[in-house]
Amino acid sequence: MLMPRVMPCLLLKNGALVKTVKFKDPAYIGDPINAIRIYNEKEVDELIFLDITATLEKREPPYKILSEIASECFMPVTYGGGVRDVETIRKILSLGIEKVAINSYAVENPEFIRAAADKFGSSTIVVSIDVRKKMFGRYEVFIHDGRKSTGLDPLEFASTMETMGAGEILLTAIDRDGTQEGYDLDLIKKVAGAVGVPVVACGGAGKVDDFRMAVKEAGASACAAGSMVVYFGRNRAVLITFPEREKLEEILK
């Protein structure tokens, strides 16, 4: 039986793992390789790494760290951050990373997604969409680490990206990031209902039941979690962790 995937979404800044709240105040978590060893032991379904400053600093992806990550990871890995040409994608894949996420550049040049999907196959290309809730409950796509508004509606944008060949949508609710208050189910429901490709819910996971709601009630194909898998307890003490597989199976099957 195919189980909905649950995956840590880990943020990189200057080569270290950090965790943000609503895309702000990156707090130091630790060394990515140490974290991977623990997630390997826990046999997590998949991992996402996002370099949150690559685009802002007009920088290439951190190839050296990605190479170390790939040689330690025996599960699928998605990398995002600073990807704006096919040569960069080729380089990332050659290290042993399976999927590449594109965020800002998908808005700036949507045709790039078509070119990338044609060249590397749809299942390799993830479009990452960061969304803020505006006045009157209207949703809007933001780029450049949530700093730049685009005027785009996430439903329409996700559909366009599917047409261009995106194989998966990583959908992040900026206002929920780091809050552990639960996913934005309304947003997930809208986007998952509008596209045929898998939607990965991100932003707000705080407990195992949040995964169930995202999948069963809102139609997400997979769930990403940040704070929940790097912090423990109310004081947010750093602890790399992951829910027990049996518990996830019980709640998601």
Partner 1 sequence: MIVIIDYGMGNLGSILNMLKKVGVRDAKISSHPKDIEQADKLILPGVGAFDTGMHHLRETGLIPLLNEKVLKAKTPTLGVCLGMQLMAKVSEEGELPGLGWFDAETIRFRFDFKHTGLKIPHMGWNTVNIKQAGTLFKDMYPQARFYFVHSFHLVAHEATNVLTTTEYGYEFASAMQREHIMAAQFHPEKSHKFGMKLYKNFVEYA
Q: Give the footprint of partner 1 on this chain (CB under 8 A).
A: 1-5, 40, 43, 45-46, 70-71, 74-76, 93-98, 120-124, 167-168, 196-198, 221-222
Query: Shortest Cβ distance from residue 105 to partner 1 (Å)?
Result: 21
Query: Shortest Cβ distance from residue 122 to partner 1 (Å)?
Result: 8
Q: Which residue has the tokens 């803020």?
A: 132
Please say which residue, 101 or 143, places its beta carbon nearer to partner 1.
Answer: 101
Query: Shortest Cβ distance from residue 163 to partner 1 (Å)?
Result: 16
Question: Residue 137 and residue 197: Cα distance in Å, rounded?
Answer: 25
User: Which helix (H) or strand (E) element contains residue 158?
Assistant: helix 154-164
Please say which residue, 94 or 149, places its beta carbon nearer to partner 1.
Answer: 94
Question: Residue 240 and residue 35: Cα distance in Å, rounded?
Answer: 6
Burial (CB < 10 A; 0-12, 13-18, 19+), residue 29, is buried
Question: Residue 100 and residue 97: Cα distance in Å, rounded?
Answer: 8
Q: Which residue has the tokens 């602890």?
A: 239
Please say which residue, 46 or 210, places its beta carbon nearer to partner 1.
Answer: 46
Q: For the chain, how far is it from start to end, CA to CA, in angstroms?
A: 9
Query: Shortest Cβ distance from residue 63 to partner 1 (Å)?
Result: 12
Question: Residue 243 and residue 207: Cα distance in Å, rounded?
Answer: 9
Q: Which residue has the tokens 């990332």?
A: 92
Please say which residue, 45 or 130, places its beta carbon nearer to partner 1.
Answer: 45
Q: Which residue has the tokens 């599917």?
A: 162
* 208, 183 contact by CB (below 8 A): no
Q: Does 51 participate in catalysis according to the annotation?
A: no
Please say which residue, 182 or 198, places its beta carbon nearer to partner 1.
Answer: 198
Q: At residue 81, what is the residue type?
A: G
Question: Residue 206 and residue 236: Cα distance in Å, rounded?
Answer: 12
Query: Shortest Cβ distance from residue 233 to partner 1 (Å)?
Result: 28
Catalytic choice (51, 85, 118, 130): 130
Residue numbers annotated as active site: 130
